[in-house]
Amino acid sequence: MEIHTIADSKSESDEVNNMLGLLVNTVEQRELEYMLKRELEEALLDLEDPRIDNLVKETMRERYKTVFQLLKRVASADDCLKYMPRKAGIR
């Protein structure tokens, strides 16, 4: 399934500001929530790994923030509390 935006013909840098709509049923919403939480948990474990370079960890922190923003859209506020970047040690 392809998702098209209004600005499909624009460059990739222009697409950063585009908004997409997504309709999902309850089962799909729970699956998205589960996958995003797992991704955040894995990132937290990797950020504690001393073998990973600090430059890589900085990129991982930025990705964590993006994934957390997605989680906020599908999970309850109570579920998001555990993964809040500052609470999870992400600056």
Q: Name the band, by pLDDT with cuts 50, 70 and 90, for residue 17.
A: confident
Using one digit for the tens of pLDDT, what is the confidence trace for 40-78? 999 999 999 999 999 999 999 999 999 999 999 999 999
Q: Please give the single-letter amino acid code of residue 46.
A: D
| Nearest C-alpha neighbor of 75 from the set 35, 23, 21, 17 | 35
User: Helix, strand, coil % (nearest 5) of the chain?
Assistant: 60, 0, 40
DSSP 25: -
Mean residue pLDDT of the chain comes to 86
Using one digit for the tens of pLDDT, what is the confidence trace for 26-44? 999 999 999 999 999 999 9
pTM, two decimals, is 0.75
Q: What is the mean pLDDT of residues 10-39?
A: 85
